[in-house]
Structures are given as C-alpha cells and as structure tokens.
Amino acid sequence: MFKFAHNNFNVLDLDRSIKFYQDALGLKEVRRINGEGFIIVFLGDAQGSAHELELTWLADRKEPYNLGDNEFHLAFRTEDFAAAHKKHEQMGCICYENEAMGIYFIVDPDGYWLEILPPVLNL
C-alpha cells in the first residue's frame, strides 16, 4: 500500500515562490530543511491534506529550470471557483483557460502550471 506524500518543484527564488503559493493558493510552510547549499520547504493547504508541495532551492543554481514541454501539473480544487478565478486574474497568473471543461491553469514564478478545479468536476 502506498500513499501520496509530496510533489517537488525546484525554484530559483524561494521567497518569491513561497509568497506566490501563499497568495495564489493559501499554502503555508509546514516545515523546512536547511542543508549545505540547499533549502527545502514543504507547503501544506488550509484543509490539512497529507499531500504537500516541496519547494527545493539550490544555492548554485542561477539559470531557469528546463521544464521541457511542461506537460505535468498539480491540480487544486476550490469551493469558490469564481472568487479564485477573479483573484488569479488580478494576480495576472492565469496562463490557460478551458471554458468548455470549466477549468483553468495558473503559472508560478518558475513556469510550473497549476490546474484550478471547481468543487465538483470528474477529472
């Protein structure tokens, strides 16, 4: 038996990324590992989900990460889809909308896509 633990995104500016995830999705830091040449921060949601987002910052990394075709993403469900959409519009982080499916995507400071889902949608 296996259970989801976390997903990792490598980031160039840890403070900027933490602020983005807090502002855009309400995620908060739950723990941090300070290592030699790296920092790992785990973010959790307000509902207390066991699944976390791990942000990894490497001191010697200066160039943006190559995300390839960026065909991967994390998905977040929200109870107030309209309010979330309005907030993300104001933040200027919506990168793709699929109105027919009733979903949209936002992009974080490093180019990772995050899918936003309404309360009920079978995806």
- Look at residue 68 and tell me if it is in a domain: no
Confidence of residue 24 (pLDDT cuts 50, 70, 90): very high
- Look at residue 123 and tell me if it is in a domain: no
Q: Number of folded domains in the chain?
A: 1
Query: What's 43's domain CATH number?
Result: 3.10.180.10
Would you mind telling me the total number of residues written for the chain in this entry? 123
Tens-digit pLDDT profile for residues 43-102: 999 888 899 999 999 999 999 999 988 788 999 999 999 999 999 999 999 999 999 999
The reply to whether 115 belongs to the active site is yes
User: Which residues have CB under 8 Å from 94's CB, separation 6+?
Assistant: 85, 88, 104, 105, 106
The per-residue pLDDT for 93 is: 98
> What's the predicted TM-score (pTM) here?
0.90
- Look at residue 66 and tell me if it is in a domain: no
Note down the domain range covering 47: 6-60+73-117
How does 15-33 read in b/e, with b if 16+ C-beta sit within 10 Å? eebbebbeebbebeeeeee
Catalytic position from the list 52, 54, 79, 115: 115
